[in-house]
Amino acid sequence: AMGYAAPERLSGSVGGPLGDVHALGAILWEMLTEQLPERDGERDVRALRPDIPDEVAFVLERSIAEATHRFADMTQLTDALREVTTSQALPITLPPPARRAHPRAAYVTPVRLRVPGGDSLDGRCEDISEGGLLTLVSGEVETGVEVLARFALPSSGRMVSLPAETRWSREVGGKLAVGLQFIDPGEKIAEDIRAYAEYMGTPVEDEE
């Protein structure tokens, strides 16, 4: 998913070991803080979890650093994690594992966001769930504000305009990736999206 991908991967570079390191680092960051790391946001995990030992924080922050400062591959990262976690006298208390409230599926379609002030940002949707969208747009929008998202529903193709809240954003290859959470989409729209996400999550070999 885009939220875990390395910046260089999202700007068009071929994937590789450095991208795998970033993805695992982002997953670990989310497990410890219950949120994804923001590209231009807080990069000191101890600001969010002050109970994390310095050595663990260093490994975690290096795993999502710029490519030139990141662990070269998964072996280096797992070796570093093993070393710092086995040497700690005090265990790290993790929050309960977070589960996605709704299944997500890849879905690419044009999207237009009407942002506060009346401006519109054009772009595309990258994935969808009945809870929200992952979009890539041109322009700027703050997090924590209400926008109006216009796009075609995946199952019916019907055009809708739904109010949503911007949950996070980060720059990706000259564009802005924005995570949107729908504000009361209504049961019919939620059912349309849910049916698509569940169908896309079904392995091909299970289809009749």
Domain boundaries, the chain: 7-88, 104-201
* Predicted confidence (pLDDT) per residue in 169-182, tens digit: 877 667 888 889 99
Give the 3-state secondary structure of residue 102.
Answer: coil
The tokens for 47 are 């600001």
Q: Which CATH class, in words, describes the domain spanning 7-88?
A: mainly alpha
Task: Please check whether the two domains, 7-88 and 104-201, share a CATH topology.
Answer: no
Find, among 30, 25, 35, 34, the residue nearest to 5 by Cα: 25
Closest CA to 106 of 89, 94, 124, 91: 124
pLDDT of residue 174: 74
pLDDT (tens digit per residue) in 74-85? 999 998 888 877
- Higher pLDDT: 193 or 46? It is 193
Domain 104-201 has CATH 2.40.50.840: no
